[in-house]
Amino acid sequence: MQTETLTVEDTSAETRKRRVLSGIQPSGDLHLGNYLGAIKRWVERQYEKENYFCIVDLHAITLPHDPEALRQRTRGVAALYIASGLDPDHCPIFIQSHVTAHAEACWLAGCVTPLGWLERMTQYKDKAGRSDSSERISTGLLAYPVLMACDILLYSADEVPVGEDQKQHVELSRDIAQRFNHMFGETFVLPEPMIPEIGARVMGFDDPSRKMSKSYEHIRGHLVKMVDEPKEIERTIKRAVTDSGNEIVFSEDPAKAGVNNLLGIYQVITGKTPERVEADFANARGYGDLKSAVAEVVIEELRPIRERYNEIMDDVSELDRILADGADRAGAVANAKLREMKERMGFVLPGGGS
Ligand code: TYM
């Protein structure tokens, strides 16, 4: 664990609660994977930790985007955080671009991050690989993990609760922190990815070999959105791809990935042990019963969230007030760390300083 020497802020783990930072891109409608892999656990553990949750709008422009949709979705994601149970009095909830230290730190950290580290990132290779021309891949897409590292490092976060797909990015954040500390002296805490044991990789209902993702929301039957109506949820889950067998058990067999996915979703929501989950389906008459049971728990889990979300979106001015307050509280932490980074790197600070 690193301790600070330059600023008065005390980041030693012994004297404070574990610090958590996480975020979601407003690049599409949030789905069951985002909820089970990330938000649900943020909510459950919030009072044990000191938390910062952001809506990472700067990340959402790394692929071509529609400005009006970005504006809508940014508030929509914030509303879903609150509707899911995050308490904004306890956890600052803020829009990444409101705390300008993130973008500025990204430049500083980018100058100490080797290009090869970024070119090796799986998500970059996937997303860049989908484009037929390098002319259409933005520099921002490559630099994306540096910005994510700064989101985390500016808050001295010990823990970063994310789904499995973001593990590599959090590990890169550690590498960047370590390199910076080595070059300029101890500045950053090394963050750890916190991946849930279940729910870390919710698969698409249309194709259980592929992770549920906002990028495939245009494919019918792929995902359940957090704000879908019960009828829509039922329709999607009832059509979920399974296999031609009838055994309702957890399994690593790729052929049983559809059933495994449904059981995993049921398990995270009900909080039951794997044995209890399998016992619940011991007398099922086939996959139809499994799908009905999963649809029911998903509908009941999301119902209050959707209702609260609608109320919050009816009062955007109150939401904007919460976000402004979150940005003030987050900014105080991030700006102090940015100043420290600059001091370490040898910048002359405005108004003097070292
Ligand atoms: P994003 O917006 O793609 O996803 C948000 C969160 O949802 C998790 N997730 C899933 N979990 C389980 N199953 C799935 N199918 C699934 N799909 C998504 C993700 O792992 C993530 O936890 N780069 C990040 C956003 C980010 C960030 C940060 C996260 C930017 N800065 C700092 C943490 C800390 C991203 O694109 O997540």
Q: How many CB atoms lie within 10 A of CB 22?
A: 23
Burial of 268 (0-12, 13-18, 19+ CB in 10 A): buried
Amino acid at 101: A
Write down the pTM of the prediction.
0.93
Residue 194 tokens read as 């916190």
Question: What is the structure's pLDDT at 14?
Answer: 57
- Is the Cβ–Cβ distance between 160 and 189 less than 8 Å? no
User: What's the residue count for the chain?
Assistant: 354
The string of pLDDT tens digits covering residues 234-262 is 999 999 999 999 999 999 999 999 999 99
Q: Which residue has the higher pLDDT, 135 or 179?
A: 179
- Is the Cβ–Cβ distance between 174 and 193 less than 8 Å? no
Ligand 1 neighbourhood includes 141 CB (under 6 angstroms): no
Residue 127 among the catalytic residues: yes
Residue 165 tokens read as 């797909």
Residue 225 among the catalytic residues: no
Residue 278 tokens read as 């399998």
Which residues does 277 contact at the CB level (< 8 Å), separation at least 6?
Answer: 250, 263, 266, 267, 270
Q: Does position 13 have pLDDT exceeding 80, yes or no?
A: no
Amino acid at 151: D
Q: Which among 29, 30, 34 is the best mutation to test ligand 1's pocket, defined by most ligand atoms within 8 Å of the CB?
A: 34
Share of the chain above pLDDT 70, in %: 95
The string of pLDDT tens digits covering residues 56-103 is 999 999 999 999 999 999 999 999 999 999 999 999 999 999 999 999
Residue 250 tokens read as 């957890």
The string of pLDDT tens digits covering residues 188-237 is 999 999 999 988 899 999 999 999 999 898 999 999 999 999 999 999 99
The string of pLDDT tens digits covering residues 109-161 is 999 999 999 999 999 998 888 776 777 789 999 999 999 999 999 999 999 99
Question: What is the structure's pLDDT at 350?
Answer: 87
Output the average pLDDT for the chain.
93
Question: What is the structure's pLDDT at 129?
Answer: 82
Question: What is the structure's pLDDT at 273?
Answer: 96
* Percent of the chain that is helix, strand, coil (3-state, to 5): 55, 10, 35
Consecutive H or E run containing 238:
helix 230-238
**C-alpha of residue 25 to centroid of ligand 1, in Å:** 7
Sign of CA dihedral 30, 36, 40, 41: negative
